Amino acid sequence: MSNIAAIIGGGVIGGGWAARFALMGWQVRIFDPDPEAERKIGEVLDNARRSLPGLSDTALPAEGAITFHAELADAVAGASWIQESVPERLELKQKVYASLLAAAPSDAIIGSSTSGFKPSELQEGTSNPGQIVVAHPFNPVYLLPLAELVTTAANSAETIARAQQILRAIGMYPLHVKKEIDAHIADRFLEAVWREALWLVKDGIASTEEIDDAIRYGFGLRWAQMGLFETYRVAGGEAGMKHFMAQFGPALKWPWTKLMDVPEFTDELVDLIAGQSDAQSGQYSIRELERIRDNNLVGMMRALKHQDYGAGALLNETDKGLRDQNGTVQDFPDIDDLTKPIETVSRAVPLDWTDYNGHMNEAKYLQAFGDATDRFMWIVGCDAEYIATGGSYFTAETHIRHLDEIQAGERIRVETICLNGQGKKMHLFHQLWAGDRLCASGEHILIHVSLETRRPSEPTGVIPQRMAAIHDAHAALERPEGVGRYVGAPR
């Protein structure tokens, strides 16, 4: 299978798909007759480069090339995934599919970003309906992981499995909707909330800002990590879901909503809502709002990641897949050459690592070095399994030099040298790089301890042999500038 994705239609959604695929290492070919497509997608890509890599705590693949093509056939040549994101007009989409099926590889999966049409409608009258599925994402596609994968009997089990595998490989969550319905699953919820919001504004009950406040300060936060039913299960207390439904079931007969009725979309209503929206957030440009949105999403999703819950659990799964791609040398995981400093961290700086000065917070330098130490411990055999037997390393002393500032989205790496690996002592020197800039160094001394006595103890298992091998190899390296430096010493 080639790692080539063709994007047909480069608007907000198509641009998001392009950024997601490219930043996950795919070659991306774009077909869009809009003369502004390259500029627009470039701006989306800039935002994605700033935010998406920061969701991962390991290195993403090298960014794939993005090319623009004047002919549809050139864009889809050799592609294994084709994403259609043209306007929501069924006759237009079916016309596009006719051209795609005539030019695309016969095993390419054609995903549609449609938010409303059923896959059977898209497949109707086509030469190979089994290639076409709905893969409905949410904006921004490069951050939000959900893709509603809607299929029909025309799609083989192999096609469905391959579609799921590809979406997961680029960090998305393929929610397989096995029974098609207009607007799939998620947009039906959004439509219900949207209709009720229109009535609340029209009837003068609430403004656009007050409705948004009700969501973002209340149930929106709960939904982000537990969804609807799990949230209500908790609301039922110790008695659980049955108690909740018994308590609130009668409310279904009360006239709380107007979901079956829609206010007339008059010019007056449109002007009212547009005016309130301008007052609410008109001081920001669209690009500024996108960056605010991305900052918030990354922070929330990283918090979920630490809890291994909701979207955070998917991010951890994606990180594990990326780490599993790394190779091994001899008996040492993730080491290419023992005679060189060991790369113990490779990642992008997430948005929530920056401070009021707009650069990486000083505490995050320590986190980067702490992550490097943890990785080195894992390399020499002090992993979770070993720690469970009652041994580990405790940090005894740390000295960090801050040499240069680092911005959000920059790719950093930490190179580690083992200065001493004999007996109970682990003496490491980390250097943090952004490209060819040395931005910080960290010198750390750790002592092996017994977790039972909490006192120093000799390491066991493979640790002594691995530590000795790395120590001996690194002894031949030039001693880095800054080793042994004390606070305030002249450079």
Q: Is residue 441 part of a domain?
A: yes
**Residues 147, 228 within the same domain:** no
Q: Is residue 81 part of a domain?
A: yes
How many other CB atoms are there within 10 angstroms of residue 7's CB atom? Answer: 32
Task: List, as one string, the DSSP characters of 153-210.
Answer: TTS-HHHHHHHHHHHHHTT-EEEEE-S--TTTTHHHHHHHHHHHHHHHHHTTS--HHH
**Residues 191, 173 within the same domain:** no
How much is the pLDDT for 334?
58
Q: Which CATH number fits the domain that encloses residue 372?
A: 3.10.129.10
Exposure of 294 in the CB half-sphere (CA atoms within 13 A): 27
In whole angstroms, what is the distance from residue 17 CA to residue 332 CA?
37
**Residues 118, 215 within the same domain:** no
Listed as ranges, residues in the chain with pLDDT below 70 are 252, 325-334, 336, 491
Q: Is residue 305 part of a domain?
A: no
Listed residue (408, 447, 455) closest to 426, CA to CA: 447
Binding residues for NAD(+): 9-14
Q: Which of 283, 313, 337 is the last residue of a domain?
A: 283
Binding residues: 9-14
Residue keyed to tokens 């291994």: 308
How much is the pLDDT for 190?
92
The answer to whether residues 67 and 29 touch, using CB atoms and an 8 Å cutoff, is: yes
Specify the length of the chain in residues. 491
Strands 4-8 and 27-31: parallel
Exposure of 477 in the CB half-sphere (CA atoms within 13 A): 22
Q: Which CATH number fits the domain that encloses residue 203?
A: 1.10.1040.10
List pLDDT tens digits, range 40-94.
999 999 999 999 998 998 888 999 999 999 999 999 999 999 999 999 999 999 9
**Residues 147, 28 within the same domain:** yes
**Residues 203, 131 within the same domain:** no
Structure tokens belonging to residue 392 = 């580990």
Q: Is residue 139 part of a domain?
A: yes
Q: How far is CA 356 from CA 231, 360, 364, in A?
A: 35, 9, 14
Determine the structural domain holding residue 260 and report its residue range.
186-283
**Residues 23, 140 within the same domain:** yes
Cα distance between the two ends of the chain: 53
Return the exposure string of 30-60: e unless at least 16 CB atoms fall within 10 Å of the residue's CB, then b.
Answer: bbbeeeebeebbeebbebbbbbbbbbbbbbb
Q: Is residue 317 part of a domain?
A: no
Within 31-89, residue ranges assigned H as helices are 37-51, 72-76
**Residues 355, 276 within the same domain:** no
Max CA separation in the chain (angstroms): 79
**Residues 201, 271 within the same domain:** yes
Q: What total number of domains does the chain contain? A: 3
Q: Is residue 454 part of a domain?
A: yes
Residue 260, sorted as left (phi over 0), alpha (psi -120 to 50) or beta, turns out to be alpha
List pLDDT tens digits, range 446-473.
999 999 999 999 999 999 999 999 999 9
**Residues 468, 391 within the same domain:** yes
Q: Is residue 480 part of a domain?
A: no
**Residues 378, 452 within the same domain:** yes
**Residues 42, 191 within the same domain:** no
Q: Which of 119, 149, 177 is the last residue of a domain?
A: 177
The answer to whether residues 123 and 154 touch, using CB atoms and an 8 Å cutoff, is: yes
Q: Is residue 313 part of a domain?
A: no
**Residues 77, 198 within the same domain:** no
